[in-house]
Amino acid sequence: MKKFTSLGVAIFAALIMVGITSQANAVTLGVYDKGLLVPVTTHGAPGIDTAVGILCSTDTTVYWTFFDKQSNPIVDSEFPCTANDLYHFSLNNEAPNTENVEGYLVFTANGGRTARTGKTSILQSDNATISGNAFLIDTNSDDAIFLPVVPMCIADYAAGIDLTAMTNTSVISLNYGFTRGDNCYIDVRYWLDPQYGACTNVILWTTQCLNEYWKWGGLYPLPDNCYYDTDPTSTTPYIIKCHLNVYDDEEHRTSVSIPLQCEVHNFFPSNITGWPNYIDGFIRIPSVDLMPNETDGAFGFSYVTSTTFRAAQSLLASENCGTKDCGRQQPAPPQTCGCGQ
């Protein structure tokens, strides 16, 4: 079925609305809980920064760690936050001299306003929770890309971790993220229309370094649609690639192999080998490709830019894992009239 003959201004406006309102999936955003995941960052160049606004529900200390793409901790610290406070976090200000590092951020509300020394474990009974919003700031283009911030609950952290010394094994799940299931999949949007100078960047975040997990023999076999591309000329010769279906807006389908590496995966669809001449559509990713174990977590979205409109918009992924019971009352069974009883 043909949807549109041209994107135009009306279609770009529709993309904006999708980016703002599309949460028709299992992902839950915008709630208070123990921590926050900012799934991707950028910073360092003049005018380029990752900005996070953090809301605190009670007097607490917020511990934060900046990880690189492989979940190696780069720098961490903490700051006091009072009840009903809004704390403005700038990666440029908080993590100087890390300009060439891309990665992600984890924030955790823990204990009172006075940070404790020594091992700082997760406190389950302090009722300290936070919420937040984040943006990739580019003042050179007068633009800000909305970053979905995923809440984190206590179960997402490994037991007995030290919040002042987090490692690549400190975050073990993402209960507010995608749902794992053999029949679950995630559709990630793209828009690549050269008429409007459109470009798409797909962002995926996983608790596992997928490339290393299957390389060293995980508990589960490699998904049927994935394989290792052994390129001896590459600096990382063993790269996991998954053969994924790609659809356009006229319901055409083709499959391409997309690399999945460590915790932060970002790629431009137009740079994928064999990418078809599709302008507008989505990439379908089975959830088991991103979450090999039952307890693993994952999240993803994409953002589009346009040289014509000079604006960037985030598009949340759509997840299909069956329907949810939203609590609607079932119709009552018919009542007998009592005649002839």
CA angle, 290 as apex, 29 and 16 as ends, to 5°?
A: 40
Closest to 223 (Cα-Cα) out of 257, 266, 179: 257
Domains of the chain: 30-175 (2.60.290.11), 177-320 (2.60.120)
Residue 20 has pLDDT above 50, yes or no: no
Band (120; pLDDT cuts 50, 70, 90): confident
Cα Dmax for the chain:
87
Q: Is 50 exceeded by the pLDDT of residue 63?
A: yes
Segment 232-241, tens digit of pLDDT: 666 666 688 9
Of 252, 281, 253, the residue nearest 11 (C-alpha)? 281
pLDDT at 155: 95
Three-state SS for 1-36 is CCCCCCCHHHHHHHHHHHHHHCCCCCCCCCCCECEE
pLDDT of residue 311: 76
pLDDT at 117: 57
pTM of the model: 0.85
Q: Which residue has the higher pLDDT, 316 or 118?
A: 316
Over the stretch 85-101, which tens digit does the pLDDT of each residue have?
999 999 999 999 998 89
Alpha-carbon gap, residue 14 to 77, rounded angstroms? 40
> Which residues, at least 6 apart from 11, have a Cβ–Cβ distance to it below 8 Å?
4, 280
> Can you tell me the distance from the alpha carbon of 86 to that of 79, in angstroms, rounded to the nearest whole number?
12
User: Kind of pairing, strands 130-138 and 143-147?
Assistant: antiparallel
Give the Cα separation of 311 and 247 in Å (integer). Answer: 24
Q: What does the pLDDT average to over 116-125? A: 77
In this prediction, residue 214 carries a pLDDT of 80
Share of the chain above pLDDT 90, in %: 61
132: pLDDT strictly greater than 60:
yes
Chain centroid, CA 341 distance in Å: 62
What average pLDDT is seen over the chain?
Answer: 84
Q: What DSSP element (H or E) covers 212?
A: helix 210-215
Q: Locate tokens 């679950």: which residue?
A: 184
* pLDDT band at residue 222 using 50, 70 and 90 as cut-offs: confident
Interval 148-171: pLDDT, tens: 999 999 999 999 899 999 999 999
Name the pLDDT band for 5 (thresholds 50, 70, 90).
very low
Which of 137-146, 227-236, 288-297 is predicted least confidently?
Answer: 227-236
> Do 206 and 298 touch, CB atoms closer than 8 A?
yes
Please tell me the distance from the alpha carbon of residue 247 to that of residue 255, in angstroms, as a whole number.
9
Q: Looking up tokens 């088991």, which residue turns up?
A: 288
User: Which pLDDT does position 67 carry in this prediction?
Assistant: 96
